[in-house]
Chain A
Amino acid sequence: MSDAPFSLTDAQLEHVARLARLQLDPAQIPQLQRDLTAIVTYFQELQAIDTEGVLPMQHPLDGQWTLRADQASIGLPNATVMALAPVHDQGLFIVPRVVAHGG
Chain B
Amino acid sequence: MADEFSGAITTWDASTIARAVGEGVCTAEAVTAAHLQRIAAIDPQVQAFIHVDTSRALAAAQAIDARRARGEKLGPLAGVPVAVKDQIAVAGLPQTAASKILQGYIAPYDATAVALLRAADAVVIGKTNQDEFGMGSSTENSAWGPTHNPWDLQRIPGGSSGGSAAAVAAALAPIALGTDTGGSIRQPAALCGVSGLKPTYGRVSRYGAIAFASSLDQIGPMARSPAELALVLQVLAGLDPRDATSEQGPALASGPLIAADLQGVRLGVPVQWRGVREGQDPGVAAQVQATLVQLATAGAKIVEVDVPLLDASVACYYVVATAEASANLARYDGIRFGRRAAWTAQATVDELYASSRAQGFGAEVQRRILLGTYALSSGYYDAFYKKASQVRRLLTAQLHAALAQCDALVGPTSPQCAWPLGARTQEPMAMYLMDIFTISANLAGLPALSLPVLPHPTSGLPIGLQLLGAPWAEWRILSIAKAISDLQPGPQRWPTAVEAP
Report A's interface with B, CB cutoff 8 A: 1, 8, 12-13, 15-17, 19-25, 28, 32, 35-36, 38-40, 42-43, 45-47, 49, 51, 54-61, 65-69, 76, 80-81, 84, 86, 93, 95-98, 100-101
B311-354 contact mask (Cβ, 8 Å, vs A): 1 or 0: 01011101100000010001001010001100101111111111
Say which residue of B108, B348, B374 sits within 8 Å of A81 (CB atoms).
Answer: B108
Q: Which of A16, A47, A55, A97 has the most CB of B within 10 A?
A: A16
Give the shortest distance, in Å, between B324 (CB) and chain A (any CB). Answer: 9
Please, which residues of chain A bring their CB within 8 A of the CB of B339? 86
Q: Decide: A60 near B374, CB < 8 A? Known: A21-B354, A95-B349.
A: no
Of residues 209 through 254 on chain B, the ones whose CB sits less than 8 Å from some CB of chain A are 215, 239, 241-242, 244-248
Say which residue of B244, B375, B444 sits within 8 Å of A60 (CB atoms).
Answer: B444
A96 CA to B185 CA in the complex, in Å?
Answer: 40
Is residue B202 contacting chain A, with contact meaning CB distance below 8 A?
A: yes
B375-391 contact mask (Cβ, 8 Å, vs A): 1 or 0: 10100000110111111
Say which residue of B244, B351, B396 sits within 8 Å of A68 (CB atoms).
Answer: B244
Please, which residues of chain A bring their CB within 8 A of the CB of B318? 39, 42-43
Say which residue of B248, B358, B361, B371 sits within 8 Å of A36 (CB atoms).
Answer: B371
Give the shortest distance, in Å, between A91 (CB) and chain B (any CB). Answer: 17
Complex contact A45–B371 (CB within 8 A): no
Q: Decide: A58 near B429, CB < 8 A? Known: A45-B312, A46-B316, A96-B343.
A: no
B357-377 contact mask (Cβ, 8 Å, vs A): 1 or 0: 110010100110111011101
Complex contact B390–A56 (CB within 8 A): yes
A65 CA to B240 CA in the complex, in Å?
Answer: 12
Complex contact A46–B108 (CB within 8 A): no
Complex contact A56–B377 (CB within 8 A): no
Complex contact B445–A17 (CB within 8 A): no
Majority-rule SS of B interface residues: helix
Please, which residues of chain A bring their CB within 8 A of the CB of B369? 20, 22
Give the shortest distance, in Å, between A1 (CB) and chain B (any CB). Answer: 7
Is residue B24 contacting chain A, with contact meaning CB distance below 8 A?
A: no
User: Which residue of chain A is the closest to B323 with respect to CB atoms?
Assistant: A58
Report B's interface with A, CB cutoff 8 A: 105-106, 108-109, 201-202, 215, 239, 241-242, 244-248, 309, 312, 314-316, 318-319, 326, 330, 333, 335, 339-340, 343, 345-355, 357-358, 361, 363, 366-367, 369-371, 373-375, 377, 383-384, 386-394, 396, 428-429, 432, 444-445
Please, which residues of chain A bring their CB within 8 A of the CB of B335? 93, 95
Please, which residues of chain B bring their CB within 8 A of the CB of A67? 244
Please, which residues of chain A bring their CB within 8 A of the CB of B384? 43, 46
Say which residue of B242, B309, B393 sits within 8 Å of A57 (CB atoms).
Answer: B393
Complex contact A80–B383 (CB within 8 A): no
A17 CA to B372 CA in the complex, in Å?
Answer: 11
Q: Which of B312, B314, B339, B348 has the most CB of A within 10 A?
A: B348
A65 CA to B355 CA in the complex, in Å?
Answer: 37
Say which residue of A15, A43, A76, A84 sits within 8 Å of B319 (CB atoms).
Answer: A43
A88 CA to B357 CA in the complex, in Å?
Answer: 21
User: Which residue of chain A is the closest to B105 with respect to CB atoms?
Assistant: A84
Complex contact B215–A47 (CB within 8 A): no
Complex contact B319–A32 (CB within 8 A): no
A47 CA to B380 CA in the complex, in Å?
Answer: 12
Q: Decide: A96 near B348, CB < 8 A? Known: A56-B389, A65-B244.
A: yes
Complex contact B201–A22 (CB within 8 A): no
Closest 10 CB pairs of A and B: A60-B445, A56-B389, A57-B393, A68-B241, A51-B390, A23-B354, A23-B358, A54-B390, A60-B201, A20-B373
Q: Decide: A39 near B349, CB < 8 A? Known: A22-B354, A56-B393, A58-B215.
A: no
Complex contact A58–B389 (CB within 8 A): yes
Please, which residues of chain A bring their CB within 8 A of the CB of B361? 22
A55 CA to B92 CA in the complex, in Å?
Answer: 44
Complex contact B373–A16 (CB within 8 A): yes
User: Which residue of chain A is the closest to B216 with respect to CB atoms?
Assistant: A60
User: Which residue of chain B is the closest to A54 with respect to CB atoms?
Assistant: B390
Give the shortest distance, in Å, between B245 (CB) and chain A (any CB). Answer: 6
Q: Which of A20, A39, A49 has the most CB of B within 10 A?
A: A20
User: Which residue of chain B is the closest to A60 with respect to CB atoms?
Assistant: B445
Complex contact B108–A96 (CB within 8 A): no
A57 CA to B317 CA in the complex, in Å?
Answer: 12
Please, which residues of chain A bring their CB within 8 A of the CB of B375? 43
Give the shortest distance, in Å, between B218 (CB) and chain A (any CB). Answer: 10
Complex contact B383–A47 (CB within 8 A): yes
A20 CA to B349 CA in the complex, in Å?
Answer: 14
Complex contact B367–A36 (CB within 8 A): yes
User: Which residue of chain A is the closest to B218 with respect to CB atoms?
Assistant: A60
**9 A/B residue pairs, CB under 8 Å, sorted by A:** A1-B383, A20-B369, A21-B353, A36-B370, A38-B428, A39-B428, A60-B202, A65-B245, A66-B246
A39 CA to B432 CA in the complex, in Å?
Answer: 9
Give the shortest distance, in Å, between B135 (CB) and chain A (any CB). Answer: 13
